[in-house]
């Protein structure tokens, strides 16, 4: 009987591992009656004000087609790119990550609230202190685009230096 339960458990775990990871593509920003800003992938309550739906730009790289080492690195040390509109180095940074085959999420900072949230994640006191573009590899922030410092951080996180 224990062998049957163990086989069933292994089969169930295998199915869970084979299921694709859920990835929210849209996020809804809204303000509650107290003036607090909320972000969610679920619809806001009926009394929400200033509701905005935003499409999150993520990597165009499909995780299931990545080399094993890249998938492991992405699971252990996810990469987030912080950008703004009209930022030439941001485009260069994005192209570098895509060229290296690094799956990443992109957060475009379009207002003060988003800037403050990014500042907290990047270990800064205020939005004005955040250098754009910035990269977060796992929990390690790297400010400004420098190919050599980004390459070192990505390599130490286990991302291969080139895609095959």
| Average pLDDT of the residues in 49-73 | 70
Tell me: pLDDT of 12 over 80: no
Tell me: pLDDT of 104 over 70: yes
Helices 147-156 & 88-100 angle (0-180, nearest 10): 40
Q: What is the pLDDT of residue 14?
A: 43
Burial 39-67 (b: 16+ CB within 10 A, else e): eeeeebeeebeeeeeeeeeebebeeeebe
Q: What is the pLDDT of residue 61?
A: 52
Task: Express each pLDDT in 121-150 by its tens digit.
Answer: 888 888 888 889 999 999 899 999 999 999
> Do the Cβ atoms of 53 and 28 come closer than 8 Å?
yes
What mean pLDDT value characterizes the chain? 78
User: For residue 101, what is the DSSP state?
Assistant: T
| Average pLDDT of the residues in 86-108 | 92
- Domains belonging to the chain, first-starting first, are 22-55 (no CATH), 56-164 (3.40.30.10)
Residue 146 has φ and ψ, to the nearest 5°, of -140, 110
Structure tokens at 52: 């905005």
User: For residue 128, what is the DSSP state?
Assistant: G
| Average pLDDT of the residues in 4-33 | 51
Residues 30, 32: Cα–Cα separation, whole Å: 7
User: Which has more confidence, 131 or 97?
Assistant: 97
Q: DSSP letters along 55-66, please? A: EPEE-SS-GGGS
User: Which has more confidence, 67 or 8?
Assistant: 67
Tell me: pLDDT of 84 over 70: yes
> Do the Cβ atoms of 77 and 53 come closer than 8 Å?
no
Q: What is the pLDDT of residue 151?
A: 95
Q: What is the pLDDT of residue 138?
A: 92
Q: What is the pLDDT of residue 150?
A: 96
Structure tokens at 134: 């910035």
């Amino acid at each position: 009987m224990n062998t049957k339960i163990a086989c069933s458990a292994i089969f169930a775990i295998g199915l869970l591992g084979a299921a694709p990871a859920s990835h929210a593509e849209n996020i809804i920003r809204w303000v509650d009656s107290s003036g607090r800003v909320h972000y969610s992938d679920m619809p806001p309550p009926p009394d929400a004000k200033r509701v905005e739906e935003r499409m999150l730009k993520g990597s165009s790289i499909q995780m299931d087609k990545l080399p094993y080492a890249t998938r492991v690195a992405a699971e252990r040390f996810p990469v987030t790119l912080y950008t703004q509109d009209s930022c030439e180095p941001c485009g260069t940074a994005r192209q570098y990550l895509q060229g290296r085959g690094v799956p990443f999420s992109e957060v475009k900072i379009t207002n003060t609230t988003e800037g403050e949230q990014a500042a907290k994640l990047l270990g800064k006191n205020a939005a004005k202190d955040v250098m754009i573009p910035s990269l977060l590899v796992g929990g390690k922030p790297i400010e400004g685009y420098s190919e050599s410092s980004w390459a070192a951080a990505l390599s130490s996180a286990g991302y291969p230096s080139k895609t095959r």
